Amino acid sequence: MKDIQRSAILNISFAVPISLFATVSSAKDLNGEEVKALISDKTVESKYPRKGFSITTYYALDGTFRQIKRGEFRKGSWCIDSNRQLCSTAEGGSGSCRLIAKEGDSWKAYKIPVNVMKPRKHERTILKIVDGTPNNL
């Protein structure tokens, strides 16, 4: 009886880490071409999970964007950098770059720290992507 219990405990202890790894490994970082295909000539609605507000951005084919953030209209430029990150710079403001990852049925944007010992930081969750700019953004 003790051998059966010991065997069950060993099976559970090995199964838990394997199932956790399977969940983590289901995330896929998009390459530059995949990011371009995902957002080019599309309107993307995202949410900042920690800050609690949404942002709507239209990414034009010519590398410009128009967006509504916290009720204010902004525009600027976007590109994919050599590290496969989506980079955007608002007019009169600073720029930022984010790695886009597919996680299950959703996409998430991550800030990659300069210090490789720090984990990447979840910045936005993409809620919806639609072709063109249906609201004339």
Count how many domains the chain has.
1
The SS3 of residue 117 is coil
pTM given for the model: 0.77
pLDDT per residue, tens digit, the chain (137 aa), is 555 554 444 444 444 443 333 334 467 999 999 999 999 999 999 999 888 899 999 999 999 999 999 899 999 999 999 999 999 999 988 899 999 999 998 999 999 988 888 999 999 999 999 999 988 88
Which residues, 6+ apart, have CB-to-CB distance to 102 below 8 Å?
27, 28, 30
Give the domain CATH number at 32.
2.40.128.640
Examine residue 51 and state whether it is found in any structural domain, yes or no.
yes
Q: Which residue range is the domain that position 102 belongs to?
A: 27-131
Q: Can you read off the two tokens belonging to residue 37?
A: 């295909």
Examine residue 123 and state whether it is found in any structural domain, yes or no.
yes
d(CA 81, CA 66): 19
